[in-house]
Structure formats: structure tokens, C-alpha cells
Amino acid sequence: MTQLSVAPMEEQHLDFVVSYWKNASPDDLARMGVDRNKFPPFDVFRKNLSNTLNAGAAAQKSFYLIWYVDDTAIGYSSLKDIDYGKHGNMHLHMWAPVARGKGYG
């Protein structure tokens, strides 16, 4: 039986996230409404993610979870525009193409 689990993102996951965006096809980016020209340089993006992971909970404007299927990381979700204790907006990104369209989200 397949087991789905999530856990807070850690430093060890940052390269997966950066690679997901760096290697996204033009079609994938267009589907998500992402303009690659407006994306920060990937070293800056990684540093920004690292800074967010290391900020205190009440100071975070974003929070990230890694999604696993059978202990294999398949993607991540981001909770952004956080008004701490009130609301935020969530997005899910599957970097493992074999995990897409399987209902894991």
C-alpha cells in the first residue's frame, strides 16, 4: 500500500526545489503562470528559501512542506502570504513527474 506523508522542509531539500524550477520546461512554466524572466537567480532563490527556513515561525511569510510517497520525496507545498494565526495561500508542486495526476495532492 502506498503511504503519503509530509514533513517540514529542511536545508537538505533546497536543491530539489531549486532544480524543480531551474529545469521546468517552458510549457510547465506557462501552465503555472510563471515568467522565467521574473524569477530570481537560482543562487538567490536558494538563499531566500534558506533564510525563510531559519526564520522564527511568527516572522515567516512562507512555510514549506516536503511531500513523500513511500519515503521518497516527490514535491513540496508552500504556504505563502501568511497572516500568522489567521490565513495563508497554499500551492503544491510535484517535481517527480511520475507522481503527478495520481491524486496525492
> Residue 103 above 80 pLDDT?
yes
In terms of Cβ atoms closer than 10 Å to its own Cβ (0-12, 13-18, 19+), residue 37 is exposed
pLDDT at residue 19 in the model: 92
Give the burial string for 47-70 (b: 16+ CB within 10 Å, else e). Answer: eebeebbeeeeeebebbbbbbbbe
Mean pLDDT in residue range 21-41: 91
pTM: 0.79
- Report yes or no: 75 and 7 within 8 Å, Cβ to Cβ: no
Question: Is the per-residue pLDDT at 71 higher than 70?
Answer: yes
- Which pLDDT does position 60 carry in this prediction? 72
pLDDT of residue 66: 94
Give the pLDDT confidence score for residue 58 in this predicted structure. 67
53 confidence band (pLDDT: 50, 70, 90) = confident
Contact 73, 16 (CB under 8 A): yes
